[in-house]
A and B are shown apart, each in its own frame.
Chain A
Amino acid sequence: MADLKTNTAGILSPNPFWLASAPPTNTGDQIMRAFDAGWGGAVWKTLGQPIVNTWSRYGALDINGVKIMGLNNIELITDRPLEVNLREITEVKKRYPNHAVIVSLMVEANREAWHTIVKQAEDAGADGLELNFGCPHGMSERGMGAAVGQVPEYTQQITEWVKEVAKTPVLVKLTPNIADIRYAARAAKQGGGDGVSLINTINSIIGLDFDTLAPRPTVNGWGSHGGYCGPAVKPIALNMISQIGTDDETLGLPISGIGGVSSWQDAVEFIALGSTSVQVCTLVMHYGFRVIEDLCDGLSNYLDERNMTLDELRGVALPRIHHWKELDLNYVVNASINQEECIGCGLCYTACEDGAHQAIHSERRADGRTFVEVMPDACVGCNLCSLVCPVDNCITMIQIPTDYAPCSWEQHSAGTGTLAPRPQDKLYAQLATAKKEEAPAT
């Protein structure tokens, strides 16, 4: 069993899995049940001036019959009285001294107000603070949440106010609703933030009700844009985390990764791209706290199988993230179909024929089966067929050795590299000569 103990910017937890600040962390009772189930930490549902919620709050994106590939909400921060939350924080910390309790905060842009709430949270026993500059709906209309996170100067300013009084580590939770996440992360660092958490939810309209054509979730016939999260947002989160992890100005800034984590594999990706802890919300809203068992078990087995520690995994993929212009244009791959495995569904054919490069030949055999085969002269190695094939290991992309040394676009444009010939070169040459021959006749 691999050691999963984690230290995120000074916040210790028995494993890297924290509940994100959201409905699963509404109450002390929930958080204690989550800790019993095995969660390493919890970010308390954002505290601030209590608010009033609408009743209808969530909408889901189901894809091809699979439920909640994406979730959207128009819920605000905690609607429970501050004293109740503070009392419960104390209670939880008393009973679970070794688990991480991080308290999420959001108040108006006023130095005194921030000072007060920071002290209240720390006095109650918080192990760390998370500044919610991310909530994209409702709170932002009141100048809080994403309204702060979208302006680097505000982010820096409020982080500075908090750091004036905070004794525990401060994480700044960033909103993805910006053009370039690096500016937000730099501001958080400049303001003295000990780390960043990301991503918060993405602005979204999840869809319409097909009977009334009102946006979902529908509140008395109307709707409002909400915050989007769940499995579908993971790729966006991974990119933003890797951008912060590879930006010279924020190198080494601790990251608590969030966004669509649904399995231990997702956690491996977040960690390999630089996250220390990983936060989870939608998965728990869908299936409950019990999912932690496989998150920890899977991660631990993965590390054990590779004889790797969690520290070794952290950031290990970052050096492989490069600019496109640095990629090798002479790395040639071709699709290869294993005829033993092929079930003749024809999906690779129709995908390549209509959606890629017309490089698969298909024919109906006498026994009624569809036979497919890749034409190496036409295949550009785009991967599409291998992505649509429903059979494991049936279409593999195999590397074709060439006599050419690696050459990137950068090298090619600087005149320091030679490009290997492309499958389409021959075709274009043919077309060009065909044109020429035609020319005099007209």
Chain B
Amino acid sequence: MSDKSSGVSANFADYKPLFDRNAALVEANRCLNCYDAPCIRACPTSINVPGFIKKIASDNMRGSARLILEANILGASCARVCPTQELCEGACVLHDLHEEPISIGRLQRYATDQVVLGGKGAALFTQGPTNGKKVALVGAGPASLGCAAELAQLGYEAVCFEKADQPGGLNSFGIADYKMDYETALAEIAWVKQLGVDIRCNTEVGRDIAIDAMLADYDAVFLGIGLDGVGPIGIPGEELDGVRDCLEFIAELKTQPKDDVSLVGKSVAVLGGGNTAIDAVTQAARLGAKHVYLVYRRTQAAMGAYKHEQELARKDGGIFVMEAQPVAVLGTSGKVSGLKCTRTRVTDAGFEYIAGSEFVLEVDVVLRATGQSKLVEFLGRFDGLKLDSKGRVEADENGRTSVEKIWTGGDCVSGGKEVVNAVAEGKRAAHSIHEYLQGAR
């Protein structure tokens, strides 16, 4: 949505661009319309993929959008940000024919953009007749939005308290900018709000709103708080100017003009091996950095990042420094000047350092992407709320926690998955809440 025509911002053009009509028709007609289609089963929100695709083919665009958004209220985001290679498109039967799978993500974008971002025609969904019950949602990320949208349609007053100044959680602030930009994420949420979802930003639960008061005032509570930032890894020099939480870096590049955050002439080291690290490498490279190193202590095969994302990072010039462990950040006059690492070797027990193998990468920026922490302190303030050994909230498949009135979903339960999983979990929780509150009547 933002202008990406010039300078480094041109590097952030859409990775899955909008189809034009004829291209969409050709692609939609290529879909076999499978019976009991595996792509549906591979979608965490079970979108009727052949159904919406054949509606595109018949020019029933309203029907197509409805089918998608009924299953997944953030269908326009998911069309852009889902790792479709691993989900629906990965399951497409055309792989077995040695053909390219159907571009389900791009077709989904084609179908939903017009409704969600274009505001065409009468509203597809409306708030249900009010039933007098209220549900509080902590956070306004994908999990809470998935839950709140469903509740609003069922007639509940759904109120999301969000500590940030804008809603959307990592969907707004964390998604790689070439997949979806900040403005698009917010525009989608503006559309979701039309269903009657009440979002109150700059409102931190536990600080601006007391937990007890919230539990007393609302008939049920949904925790969609996601995870915390990426903390220090505990090596000397981390206080130097230039060492940052990777999420901060991504949020900044998404919300600031690209030229203000340009990395032209700088070198960057990203620490970690997951999807966040790989996204940071690609985006740092696209911001014009001279060298971008990905420093990971195991082998490439052990990296958690998706293969297709790894390839993208490599194509963009990312330099993979494998089996290397950072031991110190070096600096001059308070600023980062290098990263000292030691070689590691994978062993049966894990990995070990190789003595005398130290080397230094000359860098100006060090980004930590070594895994987000859990918000255990905050969660500990809910009486009786059980967490597992890794600090994740314990819940059944419908998101019910150990506390009677509290449901949950998204990253704070899974430990970090995808937007689509968060939406699915939020939606399931909404139905469980509905069942409970109806029974309680």
Among the listed A66, A210, A347, A390, which residue makes an inter-chain contact with B35, where contact means beta carbons less than 8 Å apart?
Answer: A347
Among the listed B29, B34, B41, which residue makes an inter-chain contact with A345, where contact means beta carbons less than 8 Å apart?
Answer: B34
Within 8 A of A (CB), among B1-39: 22, 25-26, 28-29, 32-38
> B26 — which chain A residues lie within 8 A by C-beta?
65
Interface string of A78-90 (1 = CB under 8 A from B): 0000000000000
Pair A346/B97 contact, Cβ less than 8 Å: no
Q: How many residues of B contact A (CB 8 A)?
A: 20
Among the listed B35, B41, B57, which residue makes an inter-chain contact with A350, where contact means beta carbons less than 8 Å apart?
Answer: B35
Among the listed A64, A65, A346, which residue makes an inter-chain contact with B36, where contact means beta carbons less than 8 Å apart?
Answer: A346
**Interface of A (DSSP majority class):** loop
Closest Cβ neighbor of A62 among chain B residues? B25
Give me 16 A-to-B residue pairs in the complex whose CB atoms sit less than 8 angstroms apart, sorted by A's number: A65-B22, A65-B25, A66-B29, A210-B59, A343-B93, A343-B96, A344-B34, A344-B93, A345-B34, A346-B34, A346-B35, A347-B34, A347-B35, A362-B36, A368-B41, A368-B91
Let me know if A51 is at the binding interface, CB within 8 A: no
> A346 — which chain B residues lie within 8 A by C-beta?
34-37
Pair B96/A344 contact, Cβ less than 8 Å: yes
Within 8 A of B (CB), among A283-319: none
> What 4 A-B pairs have minimum CB-CB distances, sorted nearest first?
A346-B35, A343-B96, A65-B25, A65-B29
Q: Roughly how many angstroms separate A344 CA and B37 CA in the complex, as a whole number?
A: 9
Interface string of B268-294 (1 = CB under 8 A from A): 000000000000000000000000000
Q: Roughly how many angstroms separate A64 CA and B36 CA in the complex, as a whole number?
A: 22
Q: Roughly how many angstroms separate A364 CA and B59 CA in the complex, as a whole number?
A: 32
Query: Chain A's nearest CB lies how many Å from the CB of B374?
Result: 32
> A344 — which chain B residues lie within 8 A by C-beta?
34, 38, 93, 96
Let me know if A39 is at the binding interface, CB within 8 A: no
Query: Chain A's nearest CB lies how many Å from the CB of B58?
Result: 9
> A370 — which chain B residues lie within 8 A by C-beta?
34-36, 38
Let me know if A369 is at the binding interface, CB within 8 A: yes
> A210 — which chain B residues lie within 8 A by C-beta?
59
Q: Roughly how many angstroms separate A143 CA and B387 CA in the complex, as a whole number?
A: 89
Known: A65-B29, A369-B38, A370-B35. A345 touches B93 (CB 8 A): yes
Among the listed B28, B29, B32, B36, which residue makes an inter-chain contact with A364, where contact means beta carbons less than 8 Å apart?
Answer: B36
> B96 — which chain A residues lie within 8 A by C-beta?
343-344
Let me know if A391 is at the binding interface, CB within 8 A: yes
Category for how many chain A residues contact B = 10 to 19
> B35 — which chain A residues lie within 8 A by C-beta?
345-347, 349-350, 362, 370
Closest Cβ neighbor of A348 among chain B residues? B35
Among the listed B33, B38, B94, which residue makes an inter-chain contact with A347, where contact means beta carbons less than 8 Å apart?
Answer: B33
Q: Roughly how many angstroms separate A3 CA and B185 CA in the complex, as a whole number?
A: 66
Query: Chain A's nearest CB lies how many Å from the CB of B10?
Result: 32
- 18 extra interchain contacts, Cβ-Cβ under 8 A, other than A210-B59, A368-B38, A390-B32? A64-B29, A65-B22, A65-B25, A65-B26, A65-B57, A343-B94, A343-B97, A344-B38, A345-B34, A345-B37, A346-B36, A347-B33, A347-B34, A349-B35, A350-B35, A364-B36, A369-B38, A370-B38
Closest Cβ neighbor of B25 among chain A residues? A65
Q: Roughly how many angstroms separate A428 CA and B33 CA in the complex, as a whole number?
A: 34
Query: Chain A's nearest CB lies how many Å from the CB of B370?
Result: 34
Within 8 A of B (CB), among A391-423: 391
Closest Cβ neighbor of B59 among chain A residues? A210
> A391 — which chain B residues lie within 8 A by C-beta?
97
Q: Roughly how many angstroms separate A347 CA and B50 CA in the complex, as a whole number?
A: 12
Interface string of B37-80 (1 = CB under 8 A from A): 11001000000000000000101000000000000000000000
Query: Chain A's nearest CB lies how many Å from the CB of B22?
Result: 8
Q: Roughly how many angstroms separate A168 CA and B217 CA in the complex, as a whole number?
A: 99
Known: A368-B38, A368-B41. A345 touches B32 (CB 8 A): yes
Interface string of A339-372 (1 = CB under 8 A from B): 0000111110110000000000010100011100
Closest Cβ neighbor of B96 among chain A residues? A343
Q: Roughly how many angstroms separate A65 CA and B94 CA in the complex, as a whole number?
A: 19
> A66 — which chain B residues lie within 8 A by C-beta?
29
Interface string of A21-64 (1 = CB under 8 A from B): 00000000000000000000000000000000000000000001
> B28 — which chain A residues lie within 8 A by C-beta?
65
> A349 — which chain B residues lie within 8 A by C-beta?
35
Within 8 A of B (CB), among A328-343: 343
Query: Chain A's nearest CB lies how many Å from the CB of B95?
Result: 8
Q: Roughly how many angstroms separate A31 CA and B117 CA in the complex, as a whole number?
A: 52
> B57 — which chain A residues lie within 8 A by C-beta?
64-65
> A64 — which chain B residues lie within 8 A by C-beta?
29, 57
Among the listed A347, A362, A364, A390, which residue makes an inter-chain contact with B97, where contact means beta carbons less than 8 Å apart?
Answer: A390
> B38 — which chain A residues lie within 8 A by C-beta?
344, 368-370
> B41 — which chain A residues lie within 8 A by C-beta?
368
Q: Roughly how many angstroms separate A65 CA and B36 CA in the complex, as a whole number?
A: 24
Query: Chain B's nearest CB lies how many Å from the CB of A286?
Result: 15
> B29 — which chain A residues lie within 8 A by C-beta?
64-66
Q: Roughly how many angstroms separate A344 CA and B57 CA in the complex, as a whole number?
A: 22
Q: Roughly how many angstroms separate A391 CA and B35 CA in the complex, as a whole number?
A: 15
Query: Chain A's nearest CB lies how many Å from the CB of B418?
Result: 19
Q: Roughly how many angstroms separate A343 CA and B59 CA in the complex, as a whole number?
A: 28
Closest Cβ neighbor of B42 among chain A residues? A368
Q: Roughly how many angstroms separate A349 CA and B36 CA in the complex, as a whole number?
A: 10
> B22 — which chain A residues lie within 8 A by C-beta?
65
Query: Chain A's nearest CB lies how many Å from the CB of B165?
Result: 43
> B25 — which chain A residues lie within 8 A by C-beta?
65
Q: Roughly how many angstroms separate A283 CA and B34 CA in the complex, as a whole number?
A: 32
Query: Chain B's nearest CB lies how many Å from the CB of A310?
Result: 37
Q: Roughly how many angstroms separate A376 CA and B91 CA in the complex, as a whole number?
A: 30
Pair B36/A347 contact, Cβ less than 8 Å: no
Q: Roughly how many angstroms separate A345 CA and B37 CA in the complex, as a whole number?
A: 7
Query: Chain B's nearest CB lies how many Å from the CB of A370?
Result: 6
Q: Which of A210, A347, A349 has the most CB of B within 10 A?
A: A347
> A343 — which chain B residues lie within 8 A by C-beta?
93-94, 96-97
Closest Cβ neighbor of A353 among chain B residues? B35
> A362 — which chain B residues lie within 8 A by C-beta?
35-36
Q: Which of B25, B26, B35, B59 has the most CB of A within 10 A?
A: B35
> A368 — which chain B residues lie within 8 A by C-beta?
38, 41, 91
Closest Cβ neighbor of A66 among chain B residues? B29
Q: Roughly how many angstroms separate A369 CA and B41 CA in the complex, as a whole number?
A: 11
Q: Roughly how many angstroms separate A336 CA and B142 CA in the complex, as a whole number?
A: 48
Q: Roughly how many angstroms separate A368 CA and B95 CA in the complex, as a whole number?
A: 15
Query: Chain B's nearest CB lies how many Å from the CB of A166?
Result: 49
Query: Chain B's nearest CB lies how many Å from the CB of A351?
Result: 9
Query: Chain B's nearest CB lies how many Å from the CB of A65?
Result: 4
> B59 — which chain A residues lie within 8 A by C-beta?
210
Q: Which of B22, B33, B93, B96 has the most CB of A within 10 A?
A: B93
> A345 — which chain B residues lie within 8 A by C-beta?
32, 34-35, 37, 93
Closest Cβ neighbor of B28 among chain A residues? A65
